[in-house]
Amino acid sequence: MDFLCPADPTVWDGRRFAPCFADLVLGFAGNVIVAAAAVALFLFKRNAPRTQNARRGLPEKLFVFGVPGFAACLSLLGLTMLIKKKFDGNGVENYELFFKCSQFITWMSVILVCANGPWFEILCNPIMCFCWILKILLEIPHLQYKLTLPKEMTSFMEIVSFSAASTFGLFVIVAAVLGRSRNKRKVNSIEAPLVPNNEKAESETTNLVNKDHNLWELLTFKFVNPMMNIGITRQLDFTDLLELPAELRAASCYEKLLSSWTVEYQNYHDRSSLLRAMFGAYGWTYLRLGLLKVINDSINFVSPLLLNKFIRFLQQGIIS
C-alpha cells in the first residue's frame, strides 16, 4: 500500500474523499470494469455477424468512433502531463498515474473493440450498459473530489472527460433500447392488424414463445413478452402457453424419483428408504433453493444496516 498510497489510506478526510481512495476506487475501479467487460464481450462475440454494424447510420458510426477517440486523446494528454511532472519532481503520486493509465486503456479498449468486432452487439449488450452506468455513478463523487483541488486545468479536463463518458454511456443505453425495439416483430407495431390474417403469421407468433431464451431474458422475465404480445392479438390457447422446463414435468419428476429409488434398492435392498431416495432425487435442488433464499434474506437484512452505517460515517466526517 505504501507504493500506491504513501500517506494514510483513509476514505474520508473530513470534507472530501481521500485522494488515494478517489483515484483508485472511484476512478480506477470504474475504468477497469468497463475495459474488462469490453474485452470479455469482444472475445465472446468476436464471431457474431456484423449486420447490425452495417445497418447503423453515419452519425451513429461517427459518434461511436469520435467520442472514444476524443476521450482517449484527452486522457493521453493528461497522462503525458503527469509523467512530465513526475520526471520534473513535482510530487505526482502513483495512484494518479494509475487512474490516468486506466482511463486511457479503457477508451483504447472501446476503440479497438469497435474497430475489430461487432461493436453494436458488444456496446449495446445489457452487461455493457450496466458497466457504463456503474462507471458513471463512480465518477460522480470522483469528479466532486477533483473539483475541490486547486488546479484549474485538472478540473477542466476532468469535467470534459466526465462529460464524454456520460454522453457515450447515455448513447450506449439509448442505442440498446432502440435496437431492441426495432428488432421486435411487426405484430408489436401500431400498424399491425389486431387479428392475424393468415395461418403463417399465427404459427410464427407461436414459435416465438417456444424459442430458447438467454440468461438475461430469464433474469428479467423477458420470456413472457411474446406470450403477452400474442394475447393482444387474439385469445391464447394451450399451444401458446410457455412449456415447463424438462425437470419440472411430471414424467421427468417420476423418472428421476424412479431412478433414485432403483439406486437406493440396489445399494440397501431390504433397508431401502423412500425418504432417502426422495432426498437423492430432489434434495440438492431444494438445498440450493434454500441457500439462495437465505442469501436473499441476508442481503435484504444487511443492506439497510450498511447503508445506515455509511450515512452515519459521512455525517460524522462532515461534522468533524
Cα–Cα distances in angstroms (integers) from residue 27 to residues 23, 99, 206, in the given order: 5, 6, 48
* 146 CB-side CA count, 13 A: 22
* pLDDT number for residue 196: 45
What distance in Å separates the CA atoms of residue 169 and residue 64, rounded to the nearest whole number?
A: 11
pTM exceeding 0.85: no
Residue type for position 53:
N
- Give strand pairing partners of 12: 17
What distance in Å separates the CA atoms of residue 302 and residue 308, rounded to the nearest whole number?
A: 10
Neighbours of 17 (CB within 10 A): 20
C-alpha cell, 203? 404459427
* pLDDT number for residue 70: 92
Neighbours of 203 (CB within 10 A): 11
What distance in Å separates the CA atoms of residue 211 and residue 225, rounded to the nearest whole number?
A: 12
Per-residue pLDDT of the chain (320 residues; tens, 9 = 90+): 455 566 555 666 666 677 777 788 888 888 899 999 988 888 888 777 766 666 667 777 788 888 889 999 999 998 898 888 888 877 777 788 888 899 999 999 988 888 887 887 888 888 888 888 898 888 888 888 888 777 778 788 888 888 998 888 888 888 877 766 555 444 444 444 444 444 444 444 444 444 566 666 766 777 778 778 888 888 888 777 777 777 667 777 888 888 888 988 888 888 888 888 888 888 888 888 888 889 888 888 888 888 888 888 777 766 66
C-alpha cell, 186? 411487426
288-293 contacts, C-beta under 8 A, 24 or more apart: none
313-316 contacts, C-beta under 8 A, 24 or more apart: 313/12, 314/12
